Structure 1
Amino acid sequence: MSAVAVSDSAGLDPARTAAVLALLRAAAAADGVRPLSEEAELRLQHGGPPGGRDVVATEPDGPLTGYARLELGDGTGDAEAELVVAPTARERGVGGALLTRLEELADGRPLRVWAHGDLPAATALAGARGYTRARVLLQMRRPLTDADLDAAAPLPPDVSVAAFRPGRDEAAWLRLNARAFAAHPEQGAWTPEDLRLREAEPWFDPAGFLLAWRGDPDAGGALLGAHWTKVHPPGDAGPDAVGEVYVLGIDPDAQGLGLGRALTVRGLAHLRGRGLDEVLLYTEEDNTAAVTLYERTGFTRYAVDVSWRRVP
């Protein structure tokens, strides 16, 4: 086992950030799964709320061998982290060294660490350090070649669907998102900055961000639901480009109108029109109602992300 040097900071310089991004691409190619969440990658590149730390592992002569992103938040509740080890540096104690530093930075608080793909090495490390499975996120997929996308699900007579308009629809969508995901601690708390960062990403396409309005959006209309789709380029979620049901939300007051299915079908049809053959989505494993619904609409389980938790 070679020596591992670990350091942390509240932000990385551009050269080190580029090196981490290259490491992430190498890990994704080796493992077939993105090693960090989109949120962690955005915070690596643009920073995040106070309390965030970037932790890097290097060999004595300088090459980067691992990276972790830690969120300490306001100092209450669990600290949360994600980590990745370079494929060429595995089985050298890098993961253990990163995890030790994360535990030190958590300073006695419970720590949750995401393992994307539920890979055997991550399971072994977490189990050896006394972590238990606290949360499981399913990735589900379905083909976009089925005939059921040819017939659009009907909309209520007073509802119409239009593409998102950058610079005009942000406030309405953020309000909808907060209401639709009020019980979701991550999604429901999105801020204007969270939305702005994603609008600036290369993958952002307002034509695939579908909004269901009752009335005129510019004359007091109400936003009842939205289906925001995403396209992953080749190498991101697999060897080929893959679509995603990125955010699908319905206002609580609009439940029961069939908007979920209507927006889902229109979003999937949009992705198929982009020439894609497959679409993915994420859902909590213990949300049995959602899992059952997705399975009935052709989705099957594809991969698992696990949040491991340890109480000191």
Structure 2
Amino acid sequence: MTQVRSSDRLSPAEAADVLALAAAADETDGVHPLSEDGVLGLRGADRAHLLAYEGGSLAGYAYLRDESGELVVHPDHRRRGHGTALLTAAGPGAKRFWAHGDDPAARAFAERAGFARARVLWQMRRRLAGLPEVALPDGVRVRTFVPGADDEAWLGVNARAFAHHPEQGRWTADDLRLRLAEPWFDPAGFLLAVDPADDRLLGFHWTKVHPAEGREPALGEIYVLGVDPGGHRRGLGAALSVAGLRYLAGLGLSDVLLYVDESSTAAVALYRRLGFEIHSTDVMYSR
């Protein structure tokens, strides 16, 4: 029988159990069930954590942040009602859950629970060989991010660039601080496009490196790419993209990935022009 416990903060032992559960699901399904925000949120208190237990073992986990979250059931405990118990514990009303990998079983579970496909997130990839030449617009120079000094300006541009994005545009100083403290963060790969006259931030390309894991080689990522709509310079998005890709290529990486909403037609068109192709799909289900 499922027992679900709700908490606004996990203990270190509980967080470790959730990570172990997620790793088991990753091993079985071939895709990690928690996003970066989901993993980072295991250490915070900005969401509701739901833990489903069976016989003293953690059988499932879900979280909600602003009525949006993720849900995963351990492979050894599936088809026993734990996913349904977690949804019930999440409460009635509008809810949104991500399913990573567009798995048919996840789709069937969502539909049975009254959820419908609402958003599609693509992971796109390309080789880092043969990068195009794209010059920076006139009156723009590129420098690296300075933690502490550039935080406020970056948060402002990020909010304006992603004003209509349900997650990225709402990043707070705490969201930024968490990522700046991560072991993978390297300011050398956080490129800022500025106006040389006053150092005003015009856009940015924050890159990330995923270390090699198992048979998967190290990968670069266009982590966040944005241009301030109030200071837009024609071609800046493409130029910043290529500047970051050249930085990643210079580290000896052979491939790069990015995530983009299927509905972001301008961004998808830019990435296709730069040679990116769809690699995998994540789906948000909404009720």
Per the TM alignment, residue 264 of structure 1 is displaced from its structure 2 partner at its CA by 0.5
Distance in 2 (CA, whole Å) between partners of 1:235 and 1:24 is 16
Q: Does 1:148 align with 2:123?
A: no
Distance in 2 (CA, whole Å) between partners of 1:263 and 1:248 is 8
1:85 alignment partner in structure 2: 73
2:165 alignment partner in structure 1: 184
1:57-136 map, 5 Å: 57-60=52-55, 62-71=56-65, 73=66, 79-102=67-90, 104=91, 108-136=92-120
Code of the aligned partner of 2:30: G
Code of the aligned partner of 2:276: F
Aligned residue among 5, 8, 25 for 1:7: 5
Per the TM alignment, residue 87 of structure 1 is displaced from its structure 2 partner at its CA by 2.4
Contact 2:128 2:245 in 1 (8 A): yes
Distance in 1 (CA, whole Å) between partners of 2:157 and 2:262 is 24
2:234 alignment partner in structure 1: 257
Structure 1, residues 215-239: CA drift from partner, whole Å, max 9, x if none?
A: 26xxx32111100011122349x82
RMSD: 1.8
Give the gaps of 5 or more residues in structure 2: none
Contact 1:29 1:235 in 2 (8 A): no
Compared with structure 1, are the counterparts of its residues 235 and 101 closer, same or farther at alpha carbon in structure 2 (3 Å cutoff)?
A: farther
Per the TM alignment, residue 179 of structure 1 is displaced from its structure 2 partner at its CA by 1.7
2:153 alignment partner in structure 1: 172
Distance in 2 (CA, whole Å) between partners of 1:86 and 1:235 is 22
2:140 alignment partner in structure 1: 159
Contact 1:132 1:308 in 2 (8 A): yes
Per the TM alignment, residue 6 of structure 1 is displaced from its structure 2 partner at its CA by 1.6
Distance in 2 (CA, whole Å) between partners of 1:112 and 1:291 is 23
Aligned length: 287
Structure 1, residues 172-225: CA drift from partner, whole Å, max 9, x if none?
A: 111111221122232122111111010011111111100011126xxx321111
Runs of 4+ in 1 over 6 A off after TM superposition: none
Compared with structure 1, are the counterparts of its residues 230 and 163 closer, same or farther at alpha carbon in structure 2 (3 Å cutoff)?
A: same
Structure 1, residues 145-167: CA drift from partner, whole Å, max 9, x if none?
A: 2x125x4x212342211111112
SS for the counterpart of 1:148 is coil
Aligned residue among 16, 38, 41 for 2:39: 41
Distance in 1 (CA, whole Å) between partners of 2:175 and 2:62 is 21
Distance in 2 (CA, whole Å) between partners of 1:254 and 1:155 is 14
Per the TM alignment, residue 256 of structure 1 is displaced from its structure 2 partner at its CA by 4.2
SS for the counterpart of 2:142 is strand
Compared with structure 1, are the counterparts of its residues 111 and 94 closer, same or farther at alpha carbon in structure 2 (3 Å cutoff)?
A: same
Per the TM alignment, residue 42 of structure 1 is displaced from its structure 2 partner at its CA by 1.4
Compared with structure 1, are the counterparts of its residues 6 and 38 closer, same or farther at alpha carbon in structure 2 (3 Å cutoff)?
A: same
2:277 alignment partner in structure 1: 300
Aligned residue among 209, 222, 225 for 2:203: 225
Identity percentage of aligned residues: 54
Distance in 1 (CA, whole Å) between partners of 2:158 and 2:36 is 18
